């Protein structure tokens, strides 16, 4: 089960390296974001708003109940 708290901490402190996307298994977009500077910082800001939903979808996909 992935944690929203951990995801947001990774986004805040290591977001420039796309670590939060790798944490959630989004390797393709993680590499894209890493190589483009978070899509010129726009992606980093967008992730602030969608990260919670990404964690929920990951947990639902792999059979973890919502906390």
* pLDDT tens-digit readout, 2-55: 999 999 999 999 999 999 999 999 999 999 999 999 988 899 999 999 999 999
Tokens coding 42: 């726009």
Query: Which residue's structure tokens are 């109940």?
Result: 65
Whole-model pTM over 0.85:
yes
Alpha helices in the chain (DSSP H): 4-14, 19-23, 27-35, 37-40, 42-61
Tokens coding 45: 């800001």
- Residues 19, 13, 6, 60, CA torsion sign: negative
Ranges of each domain in the chain = 4-61
Tokens coding 52: 């919670």
CB of 26 within 8 A of CB of 55? no
């Amino acid at each position: 089960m992935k944690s929203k708290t951990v995801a947001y901490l990774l986004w805040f402190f290591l977001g420039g390296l796309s670590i939060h996307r790798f944490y959630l298994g989004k390797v393709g977009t993680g590499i894209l974001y890493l190589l483009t500077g978070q899509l010129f910082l726009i992606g980093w800001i967008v992730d602030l708003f969608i990260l919670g939903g990404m964690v929920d979808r990951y947990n639902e996909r792999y059979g973890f109940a919502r906390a």
